[in-house]
């Protein structure tokens, strides 16, 4: 009877060690990283240059610095240009080392609104809005 109990205890101890090793392996196999930001709405434009746009700059100077606007509206003798981009950056956790699970880090809007008259910037309004 004693021999049976010690064999049973040894088997349980071996099973417990195997379970512990499996749990540790699963914990170590999980990893985390971040993905590069991507534009999910609008059109990408250089934000640093957008912040430098000032009244009096010509429409050609603005186009050279930022590219084509996302939206253009003409009312009367004025043009209204809008540069807009929504950027999203995600993190990714790899469960068991190979199953990816995305989690959003942040979502942010970048917007520059311009009023142009006679081919020059009359008003510039740059805004960044953190969504998440």
Task: Summarize pLDDT for 13-43 with one digit per residue, the tens.
Answer: 777 778 877 776 665 556 667 888 999 999 9
Q: Name which residue leads in pLDDT, 81 or 27.
A: 81
Q: How far apart are CA 70 and CA 85, in angstroms?
A: 9
Asked whether the whole model's pTM tops 0.75, one would answer no
Give residue 132's pLDDT. 82
Q: How far apart are CA 35 and CA 18, in angstroms?
A: 35
Nearest 5°: CA angle at 110, between 105 and 115?
170
Looking at residue 132, the DSSP 8-state letter turns out to be -
Task: Summarize pLDDT for 84-93 with one digit per residue, the tens.
Answer: 999 999 888 8
Give residue 11's pLDDT. 64
Q: How far apart are CA 50 and CA 69, in angstroms?
A: 11
Does residue 7 register a pLDDT over 80? Answer: no
Whole-number Cα distances in Å, 4 to 12, 13, 14, 117: 12, 14, 15, 96
Is beta strand 99-117 parallel, antiparallel or unpaired with respect to 120-130?
A: antiparallel
């Amino acid at each position: 009877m004693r021999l049976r109990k010690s064999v049973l205890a040894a088997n349980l101890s071996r099973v417990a060690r195997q379970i512990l090793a499996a749990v540790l392996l699963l914990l170590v196999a999980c990893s985390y990283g971040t993905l590069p930001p991507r534009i999910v709405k609008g059109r990408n434009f250089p934000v640093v240059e957008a912040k430098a746009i000032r009244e009096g700059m010509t429409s050609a100077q603005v186009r050279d610095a930022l590219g084509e606007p996302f939206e253009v509206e003409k009312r009367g003798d004025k043009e209204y240009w809008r540069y807009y981009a929504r950027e999203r950056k995600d993190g990714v956790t790899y469960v068991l080392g190979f199953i990816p699970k995305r989690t959003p880090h942040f979502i942010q809007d970048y917007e520059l609104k311009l009023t142009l008259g006679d081919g020059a910037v009359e008003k510039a309004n740059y805004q960044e809005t953190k969504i998440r």
